[in-house]
Amino acid sequence: MGVQFGRIVPLVAAGLLASACTGGPQYTAVSEPAALVPAGIHDVLADARWRVAESLGGRAGFVPPAQGPRAQRKGGTIAFVAADLTNGGVSAVGEAVTEAASEIDWHVTMIDGKGTVQGRADALDRAVTIRPDGIVLGGFDATEQTATLRQAADLGIPVVGWHAGSAPGPIPAAGVFTNVTTDPLQVAWLAAAYVVADSNGTAGVAVLTDSAFQVAARKAEAMRAYLGLCSGCTVLSAEDSPIGDTDIRMTGLVSSLLRRDGARLGYLLTVNGNYVGDAKAELSNAGRPAAGPPVAVAAGDGDATEFQRVRDGDYQAATVAEPLVLQGWQVVDELNRAFAGRSPSGFVATPALITHRNVPAGDVFDPQSGYRDVYRKIWNGM
């Protein structure tokens, strides 16, 4: 069976949220959530091997649509509200938004939510207070802050999210014009497929997630569901541990997993690379070799520290990376579409499996697809 990557998400003309601005953006609901496992799998090991090979050899899914509105509101201000700027993925997207915004003379104000619900609430309140032309939610659920987002809508401030929900596309109930992310199900299936293929269908797995984030919970559900198709694989446990507290929780958690599961524990399958960074010390203290078992596989977004661990074989065998710089540029394009009263682009970039075989030399996975030139031509009306 095949998987549609880099696709244009079909939009359903329902649930329109009116903008406070004349000719403002349309917020259009996406279709119902997909099933937690891919359809039509008869041999999960064969499917896993196919997904791994397809991703490692893939080059498609990184070119955005070539049509869109010219640059709007030159000289405007964008507020990037970050969940936590110490998170490598959030920081990389923020830098990419700043890079892309400079192409059309927008100024970006970075506001750090500092990894807590209250911090994010304070940061978003500040963003609304400064009355920017647009707001970007950087890495936290829009539904967590719906009251403040309603204020933004009342003021006619368009909001675009990055990892602001459990799926790509508009979030009309929260007033989010669109959410830029890869398909979390594809990310989850790819990470789980690596584990199935690497173990030849015999993996013993602990799944680590943070249910405070919809996208993380959804990924964990999908990873467990995919592993459930593998008769020789065992999900030993599913652990719910806050991503922001990995530095204080992982020592005890990893110690408990090793004590309980022993040699059966072959893989730590996580929704974010932060878990791995803070699990390393305890694995080392327990005398576990850096090459494993257990080894970690992350279904997060792929940041520089993950790439270094994969490169060095340092307790992490693989990660599923998102094209973070491309997504930052897409965020700017989606805001520009909102300013112009257009619909979202519907573009969803492809996630990429990163192993020792193809780990980037730099800090981010940045496909050389010419996407910057595509966006420049759109914004310059070419």
Q: What is the pLDDT of residues 79-98, one digit of tens each?
A: 999 999 988 889 999 999 99
CATH number at residue 331: 3.40.50.2300
- Of 301, 321, 341, which residue sits at a domain end? 321
- Say whether both 218 and 170 belong to one domain: no
Q: Flag whether 284 is in a domain.
A: yes
Candidates 357, 285, 365; CA nearest to 320 is 365
Candidates 130, 119, 274, 297; CA nearest to 198 is 297
Q: Flag whether 246 is in a domain.
A: yes
How many domains does the chain fold into?
Answer: 2
Rg (CA), the chain: 20
CA atoms of 14 and 283, how far apart (whole Å): 50
For residue range 319-330, list pLDDT tens digits in order: 999 999 999 999
- Say whether both 191 and 126 belong to one domain: no
- Say whether both 139 and 78 belong to one domain: yes
- Say whether both 211 and 299 belong to one domain: yes
Q: How many CA atoms lie within 13 A of 283 on its CB side?
A: 23
User: What integer pLDDT is reported at residue 29 of this predicted model?
Assistant: 38
Q: Flag whether 292 is in a domain.
A: yes
- Say whether both 199 and 299 belong to one domain: yes
324-339 and 88-102 helices cross at what angle (nearest 10)?
Answer: 50
User: What integer pLDDT is reported at residue 34 of this predicted model?
Assistant: 66
Q: Flag whether 342 is in a domain.
A: yes
Any residues with CB less than 8 A from the CB of 345 and at least 6 apart, and which? 8, 64, 65, 68, 178, 330, 333, 334, 337
Is-contact 349 74, C-beta < 8 A?
Answer: no
Q: Give the residue numbers spanning the domain of 272.
A: 185-321
Q: Flag whether 370 is in a domain.
A: no
Is-contact 222 300, C-beta < 8 A?
Answer: no
Q: Flag whether 354 is in a domain.
A: no
Low-confidence ranges of the chain (pLDDT < 50): 1-32
Calculate ∠ Cα 223-229-230, nearest 5°. Answer: 95
Q: Flag whether 58 is in a domain.
A: no
Q: Flag whether 297 is in a domain.
A: yes
The pTM assigned to this predicted structure is: 0.83
Candidates 216, 160, 212, 211; CA nearest to 184 is 216
Residue 10 token pair: 């079909």
